[in-house]
Amino acid sequence: MSWENELGRGERFAFGANWRDFLRRFTPERLRQAEGSLRALLGRDDLCGLRLLDMGSGSGLFSLAARRLGAGVVSCDYDPDSVACAEGLRAALRPDDAPKPNPTDETGPTGWTVLRGSVLDREFLAGLGGFDVVYSWGVLHHTGDQWTALDNLCGCVAPGGLLAIALYNRQPFFTPLHTAMKHAACRWPLAGRLVIAPIYGLGVGALLAMADLLRGRNPLARHKTSGLPRGMSFWHDVRDWVGGWPFETSTPEQVFDFCRARGFALRGLRTVGGKSGCNEFVFERAARPPAAGDPPPCAFC
Ligand SMILES: C[S@@+](CC[C@H](N)C(=O)[O-])C[C@H]1O[C@@H](n2cnc3c(N)ncnc32)[C@H](O)[C@@H]1O
């Protein structure tokens, strides 16, 4: 089924429209936070000389951040509005990063290419070649088939390269409730936007404000640009969180086992400690593909 059909039938959230709105509140501080979050996740001060794939680039903020840190970037998203967001950022802030008609023609890790495509489309991915860093934050669980998406993405990492992903945590009690809420909000977008998102946002906002007050912090500071990690915005996150459909979840163990079986070693992990939210993983692909008879990679290194 095409993206337009899925959207029309209430089977897909309009992520790109939300990102377009988010970019109206773009500030240099959000960009600095995005750069900081990339540096912290990848454990590097810069990305000079590396080729990075930003799969499910959304607003394009992290592609821009990676570009500013020195990487040659390919941004990719399935939602045409998200693609337009990345193209708009590039035109406005990196006008010299001329579009590359075919990213595999690049002579080196320079430039910023923005493409429309799906992580579920193996033929499309095969045309992109291998990357030193594959970054996909909060994306695979919104594709409708997160394990196929992860399998495909593993194939985009060059030997010795990094795979940095964030996937929604599975909770035995809350996951079925969240799943039902999201499906309803996506099927009836007006109710989702005017009823479910405000109720959910106010509830979460009140809990966060109480936590801030108990710690002696100003609860309003969270809603300024520096209030959320990764340069995000509270209300756009709420809308994305309430409506974000398709939706799947996973446990850290499932993701670890899945990637390990494909020759990846865990290099970084930040879980949400059993709460709602995304677990972050950084895996490194073995410098050569595992061969028959190799001992399994050590689980602790
Ligand atoms: C929650 S947003 C995350 C955006 C961005 N990675 C970030 O961290 O801000 C999820 C993005 O994944 C994109 N997406 C969903 N399904 C996809 C697919 N099959 N292939 C590529 N992108 C997809 C959506 O269009 C959306 O822009």
79 lines ligand 1 (CB under 6 A): yes
Minimal-distance CA residue to ligand 1 atom 25: 79
Distance (Å) from CA 217 to ligand 1 centroid: 33
**Residue appearing with tokens 């108990």:** 214
Minimal-distance CA residue to ligand 1 atom 20: 118
Same domain for 122 and 234, yes or no, is no
CATH of the domain at 46: 3.40.50.150
Query: Is position 299 within any domain?
Result: no
138 lines ligand 1 (CB under 6 A): yes
Query: Is position 290 within any domain?
Result: no
Pocket test for ligand 1, best of 1, 15, 21, 133 (most atoms within 8 A of CB): 15
Query: Is position 300 within any domain?
Result: no
Distance (Å) from CA 215 to ligand 1 centroid: 34
Distance (Å) from CA 18 to ligand 1 centroid: 11
Q: Tell me if 67 sits within 8 A of 51, measured CB to CB.
A: no
Q: Tell me how far apart the alpha carbons of residues 42 and 10 are, in angstroms, rounded to a whole number.
A: 36
Q: Structurally, how many domains does the chain consist of?
A: 2
Query: Is position 125 within any domain?
Result: yes
Same domain for 259 and 136, yes or no, is yes
Same domain for 260 and 239, yes or no, is no
Structure tokens at 197: 């998102």
Query: Is position 88 within any domain?
Result: yes
Same domain for 211 and 105, yes or no, is no
Query: Is position 163 within any domain?
Result: yes
Residue type, 275: K
The whole-number pLDDT of residue 107 equals: 44
Same domain for 194 and 260, yes or no, is no
Q: Which of 243, 273, 295 is the last residue of a domain?
A: 243
120 lines ligand 1 (CB under 6 A): yes
The verdict on whether omega for the bond into residue 176 sits within 30 degrees of 0, i.e. cis, is: no
Distance (Å) from CA 143 to ligand 1 centroid: 8
Same domain for 34 and 158, yes or no, is yes
Residue type, 4: E
132 lines ligand 1 (CB under 6 A): no
Same domain for 165 and 97, yes or no, is yes
Domain containing 186 equals: 174-243
User: Could you please report the per-residue DSSP string of 203-220?
Assistant: HHHHHHHHHHHHTT--GG
The whole-number pLDDT of residue 103 equals: 55
User: Could you please report the per-residue DSSP string of 143-206?
Assistant: SS-HHHHHHHHHTTEEEEEEEEEEEEBP-TTHHHHHHHHHHHHHHSHHHIIIIIHHHHHHHHHH
**CA angle, 44 as apex, 42 and 48 as ends, to 5°?**
110
Distance (Å) from CA 118 to ligand 1 centroid: 9
Minimal-distance CA residue to ligand 1 atom 10: 139
Same domain for 43 and 119, yes or no, is yes
Same domain for 152 and 126, yes or no, is yes
pLDDT digits (tens), the chain, 301 positions: 789 999 988 899 999 999 999 998 899 999 999 999 999 999 999 999 999 999 999 999 999 999 999 999 999 999 999 999 999 999 999 999 976 556 555 545 579 999 999 999 999 999 999 999 999 999 999 999 999 999 999 999 999 999 999 999 999 999 998 898 889 888 888 877 777 777 777 777 777 778 888 888 877 766 554 456 787 777 777 778 888 899 999 999 999 999 999 999 999 999 999 998 999 999 999 986 667 777 666 555 4
Q: Tell me if 270 sits within 8 A of 163, measured CB to CB.
A: no
**Residue appearing with tokens 């998406």:** 149
Pocket test for ligand 1, best of 114, 142, 186 (most atoms within 8 A of CB): 142
The whole-number pLDDT of residue 226 equals: 44
